[in-house]
Structure 1
Amino acid sequence: MIWRIIFFILITVPGLIAIVTFQTIYLWLKWPNWHFFPHLAHKLVCFNLGLKVRQIGQPARDKPTLLVCNHISWLDIPAVGATAPVSFVAKSEVGRWPIVGFLANLQKTIYVDRQRKTDTGRVTDEMSERMSSGQPVLLFAEGTSDIGLHVLPFRSALVGSAQTAMKDGAISELYIQPMTIAYTHLNGLPISRAERSKIAWVGDMGVEDNIGDILSSGTKSVTIMFGEPILFSRDEDRKLVTKKAEQAVRDMLVAINRQTALPTAHQGAH
């Protein structure tokens, strides 16, 4: 743990400061491919935290895409950020968390204020703007986190927001792409149920406690898998589509954790 803290202070912090500086200038000039510097930042954080990321499949491109995913830990953010140029949808509190909020802001996260029902319109507009520009938006659809052995029921409300954008004419078509995050090994050995508490963020655990566990837990292996996108029409039942995506995420998670035959992964264009 000591060397990770030293590395964080001497390498990661100066590196992130430089990346933020370049990213700020890049966004101010409105240049394309804004995700280059955040990608470097997430790679640096993953290295510092001992996080080894394995990617299976690809995020859909060139069409408006909403990625729906399970959620296990705040480590999901750097793991995904080091893999794909996505924008996250997260609760507004995330932006105020140490380290986590910094990484989320760098990834142009769309924040949802759960206390304000009138916030839905703004979130819908931001999601449609990102997706219509060809940038995938990622939703942790369970609404909370789990230890990584199960997939909790997906909430269809924000999937419905994306559908609203279609009905309003902001986007003409939409794909829902299932995506799975699975933490598989700790220090090179298959992770046990008890050891998952060193990674997962569940219950009333504080962010500082969780960061401490992660810093002291050694090398962690995570698999991120992208399933086949589901075409989502403007008149389709959002609950049925959300349920279909939920089952696809569950099938991928079970197969990765049990090391059995994997479902079909998405390999490129729609």
Structure 2
Amino acid sequence: MAETTTITDTDWPPPLPDASGFVAPPVPGVGGALARLARALAADPGGGRRVAARGLWLLAVAALCVPLHMACRRLGLPSPWARRFLGWSARACGIRVRSIGQPVARDVFYIANHLSWTDALILGGQTGTVFVAQDGIAIWPGLAFICHLNDTIFVNRSDRMGVPAQIAAMRTQFTRHSRIAMFPEATCSDGRRLLPFKAPLFAMLIPPPPGATLQPVVIDCDEAGRNLAWVGMETGAANAWRLLSRPGTWEARVHFLEPFSPADTPDRKALSARARAAIAAKLSETLGGRPVA
């Protein structure tokens, strides 16, 4: 019988893997990527079959949704296909998504905690929002293409001089789409804690666009989902393999919390703190009352 590890309150939260000094490796070329894939298939044939099946499912979803989405764009029509692509892709990845609470339908900034690249599938499939994402994602050709289809706003959080231009881009996209989501931890955690929020991009809400609402969101996964979080020195490709090769499914619950007007908190640091406090309280509740720093 396999041993199980019990996490006690004195061990809570368990430490994250040490990622100090980690530098992401360069994106491999086609030949390098295929060689790595071949090695992974040889090491785990069963996992490889699951990756292949889910990969084909994702390709089928893209083959249906992407042309229809692009056709809507060319005709100047609102497109439901980006949202459907994200939601169906989450299911293809083995994620069962459950929505709790009522998402604000428009003129809303969603502020959420962050576990993995799958958060975009989970939250986007429920809301149809566009996302604010780190510009490092744009180096992956396929992923960058999908992000551009959904009008993702890429930001460089180390470029302090570029913050005004990034805020202007967010305001422009908000005018077009009326729904933007941001993960202000600026990196992934494991769903058992909440990292400090990066306040500068909250400046996009000072002052807020007319009628804008801020809605805190908690992405709360079961234990399997928490163990699939993209943390430490794991590369995106390794995390994707680990997630897609896993047998069975796992559940992600999306809690839409009480919205409030950002105009009531006319300071970006105070606004960040208010949103974080709401998310921390709900996250603690989902963890059985365990403290969330």
> Normalised by the shorter chain, which TM-score bucket?
0.7 to 0.9
Answer yes or no: is the 8 Å Cα contact 2:206–2:267 preserved in 1: no
Give the structure with the larger strand fraction.
1
Cα 1:96–1:18 change in 2 (3 A) is farther
Cα 1:49–1:209 change in 2 (3 A) is same
- What whole-Å deviation, never above 9, does each CA across 1:154-196 have from its counterpart, x for those lacking one? 11111112315x4xxxx2243221111111143xxxx7xxxx3
TM-score by length of 1: 0.80
How far did residue 31 of structure 1 move? 1.0
For residue 221 of structure 1, what is the amino acid of its counterpart? E
Cα 1:12–1:172 change in 2 (3 A) is closer
Answer yes or no: is the 8 Å Cα contact 2:205–2:262 preserved in 1: no
What is residue 156 of structure 1 aligned with on the other side?
Answer: 199
CA distance in 2, matches of 1:26, 1:113: 30
2:278 aligned to which of 238, 245, 248:
248
2:71 counterpart of 1:28 = no
- What whole-Å deviation, never above 9, does each CA across 1:65-115 have from its counterpart, x for those lacking one? 211111011111111121111111011111333665454333221111335
CA distance in 2, matches of 1:249, 1:227: 8
2:208 counterpart of 1:178 = no
Answer yes or no: is the 8 Å Cα contact 2:265–2:271 preserved in 1: no
CA distance in 2, matches of 1:176, 1:123: 19
Alignment of 1:1-270 (within 5 A): 1-32=47-78, 34=79, 36-62=80-106, 64-97=107-140, 100-133=143-176, 135-164=178-207, 166=208, 171-186=209-224, 196-197=226-227, 199-218=228-247, 219-233=249-263, 236-258=266-288
User: Rg bigger for which structure?
Assistant: 2
- Total equivalences in the alignment: 243
SS at match of 2:222: strand
SS at match of 1:181: strand
- What whole-Å deviation, never above 9, does each CA across 1:141-160 have from its counterpart, x for those lacking one? 11111111011111111111
- What whole-Å deviation, never above 9, does each CA across 1:200-255 have from its counterpart, x for those lacking one? 11122111110111112331111111111121128712211211110111111121
How far did residue 116 of structure 1 move? 3.8
Cα 1:142–1:115 change in 2 (3 A) is closer
CA distance in 1, matches of 2:158, 2:229: 26
SS at match of 1:258: coil
CA distance in 2, matches of 1:162, 1:38: 25
Cα 1:150–1:11 change in 2 (3 A) is closer
Answer yes or no: is the 8 Å Cα contact 1:42–1:103 preserved in 2: no
TM-score by length of 2: 0.75
CA distance in 1, matches of 2:264, 2:274: 16
For residue 128 of structure 1, what is the amino acid of its counterpart? R
Answer yes or no: is the 8 Å Cα contact 2:94–2:250 preserved in 1: yes
- Give structure 1 regions of 4+ aligned residues with deviation exceeding 4 angstroms: none
CA distance in 2, matches of 1:185, 1:54: 15
CA distance in 1, matches of 2:257, 2:55: 38
For residue 27 of structure 1, what is the amino acid of its counterpart? R
Answer yes or no: is the 8 Å Cα contact 2:51–2:241 preserved in 1: no
What is the alpha-carbon root mean square deviation over aligned residues?
A: 2.4
